[in-house]
Structure 1
Amino acid sequence: METSQKGDMYIFSVHATRRPVNRFDLAVAVEYIDTMPEDRIQPRVTRGRPRIGVAGGSDIQLKNYLDAVEAAGGEAVPLLPGAEGSPEASLDDLDGLVLTGGKDIDPALYRQRLRDGCGVEIDHPRDALEIPLARRALERDLPILGICRGVQVLNVAAGGTLHQDITLLDLPSGSHNQREASPQPPEDAAVHEVMIAPGSRLAEILGDGRLGVNTFHHQVIDRPAPRFAVVARSVERQGSGAIEGVEVPGRTFAVGVQWHPERMWRRVPACARLFSALVEAASRKRVTRKRVG
């Protein structure tokens, strides 16, 4: 597999053209400090920040997720395997949840046997934490953003299934892991495009049409969970692309994407808006929770 660079875009099987922009949008709970250079604009919190749980493990770059949540005006709260108490109890003081990237989900959790040759690396401790978290968060209508493994956790927790390896789809674009490319593009580089469904919640946030994204996954959603809507697919030269985005209509905020916006938000405003939308939804949840309490 090979990559080439054309302007600001790395070409990786399919073409995409997005211009990186330094400034990004933030949620209603923050304001810009314009006394700094434009490429160093920082958010300032003006009201109580919603608490956003960020579920992950030591095998991921958790800092990127924490930084993205904090930049959007939220208070990021790490949720790691092995903590005392039940996973569900940790949601009691949270206003939102981010399910992050990482290793694979046990196929037994979506009623499949482990397939030979699929390169599955199961993370049992994270499964034990995140599947119950996702289920209870959906039951409570807690705002959720799932990223890479996180969108797969969200889907499996609600009754969906996965392809254990993306090669089972026989996509024209081949691999969806830019670490396998030579030369290897930067982690925040867009290397393929996704098509976002018009009229979806994701389109309200990112805009409909095509968006250039990065890619680091070898698994992908097969059968979406009941009531889940597929709202983004990879752009392929022919045929239907891999599922790259889902959402749950009727929920306050339940959105998942297969790419890694936490690695792109500093350069791509659309990716920053994903975290802003989560924090805004969590802010509304926080107000409602205080009134009820």
Structure 2
Amino acid sequence: MNAEPSSSAPGLLIGRSALLDGVCPELDRRPAVAVITGEAGAGKSRFVQELLRRTTSPDAVTLVARCQEADTPFPFAPLVEALNRFRSGPLPADLPPVTGALHALLPDLAHRLPPVPPPLRDPRAEHHRVLRALNAYTAALGKAVLVVEDLQWADASTCAFLRTVVADPPPGLGLVLTARSPAPPYTDTEGSDGLPFPLRTPAHVTVVEHHLAPLSAAETGELAAGILGVQAVPEEFADRLHRWTGGLPYVIEEVLRGRTGSTEFPTDAAGEPPLPASVRRVVVERLRGLPPAARQVVAAAAVLG
């Protein structure tokens, strides 16, 4: 899986209400940058969905880009996809001339862009002009929200664009970034944990950084009750489920998939429920990112329990 695992119970958002209540008004203080980190399955995408639902009106400009893991990433790929999906939305009639440099990246929007500017002989100058064009295009959208998910897989060009935006965001922009990180973010000269570049913003920009920790045992029980369609689950069941899943919402939902109304599970010899194939794929993906020596340590730990 390249993307954040999607929620199988989109109506449930457990253990995040207070955090949402704090982030929503901050995102409305434009320009604003919100960074949401957490390990795979922590519910970052679900959190962003609810954040957008609470903070944007139906007619607001909202662009959602998702980075994908790739051996040879295409420059600006997530931004191109997000902007092409927005091709039917309202655009200002007086886009800056520099946005004509986006014809090659956004052929579906070519009829709405200014003329193509004369070519530059230096590829670096061409790349810089495209960065300026994307920045000008984003600024021309006015009050808008740009979401870039799974930033740990962003290509170098997308990172360069986001560094430019973060350093001097348009007045009406709300920028939401998500990235995988097993630990809370730290803003310092070395960059934010989980982000591929340092988060350095001007003093007038609202910055919100939050790490989505796994759910507690009690929150795991609350989520389980909602998924199973029961008023509550036994405390012992919630504790066992929390131990099996590590409190990760995605894993909890996958383990409980198709078991509506039941708090009994078939278990194997080790006393745990069978691991769903969807969760196995996430685990295998994470193991592939480890060096060989680390994978051997994980294998030994799994055997030893």
User: Max radius of gyration: which structure?
Assistant: 2
Whether TM-score is above 0.5 comes out as no
Question: TM-score, structure 2 length as denominator?
Answer: 0.25
Q: Which has the higher helix share?
A: 2
Q: Which has the higher strand share?
A: 1
Question: TM-score, structure 1 length as denominator?
Answer: 0.26
